[in-house]
Amino acid sequence: MNAVSPARRPLALRLMLFIYGNANIAGCALALAGPVLLFAGLIGPGWLFITAGLYGVGWLLGRSLGSAPEIERRIEDSLTLEQTLEHLDTVVVRAQPHLTPDMRGHLDSVKSSVAEVLPRLVGTRGTDADLYTVRETVLRYLPETLANYVALPPVFRTTHTLKDGKTARQLLAEQLALLDEKMREIVRNVASADAQALLSNGRFLEMKFRQPDFLAR
């Protein structure tokens, strides 16, 4: 499922994302110099215009320096095994600077599991619905979940509560831990050709990751 378009989000939520955004925080920080300069006697009646200008400069700096990296949200079926692993590696590398050490550890473990089972999953084109679901989780839901998380303002991720009273960071940490656990189970089940266990894993992953947007209620 795709993320909700920013234009369709509630006005209050869009305002909150703006307030927590790097651009606004940098703008406010630099704008504080206006009153300081006024009280220091360095500027006079035009201090409001100077303060507004300082906010604008800070906003532009914050936007340019704090922009989130572009993370691929979808890995195409038509890629070769090597290309698929390369694209997944790119997604992981770009997301890692925004993750905690525990998250990075789970993500590295997931990537290792994927590399082990992907030869079988890449060959699936819908004839095995359960393996197809697992592939969708790894190649669709995981990249989109990471992309949506990284797109959130850093302060918003750690301070604003979302589902079940948890922050986006806490939600992602839980999701990556669960995905790591399930992918390691899948590696074992593929090795033992346990079809029933794979079916259970596939349904679980679809349920947990079919909504990758942290802001969706």
Q: Are 90 and 72 in contact (CB under 8 A)?
A: yes
What is the reported pTM? 0.67
Measured distance CA(47)–CA(50) in Å, rounded:
5
DSSP-assigned states of every residue in 138-160? IIIIHHHHHHHHHHS-HHHHHHS
Measured distance CA(189)–CA(108) in Å, rounded:
20
3-state secondary structure of 213: coil
pLDDT along the chain (217 residues), means of 10: 54 73 78 82 81 82 69 77 83 90 92 80 51 72 87 86 87 90 80 60 67 63
What pLDDT score does 126 carry? 40
What pLDDT score does 2 carry? 47
What pLDDT score does 1 carry? 40
What pLDDT score does 99 carry? 93
Q: Are 171 and 162 in contact (CB under 8 A)?
A: yes
3-state secondary structure of 45: coil
What pLDDT score does 214 carry? 65
3-state secondary structure of 28: helix
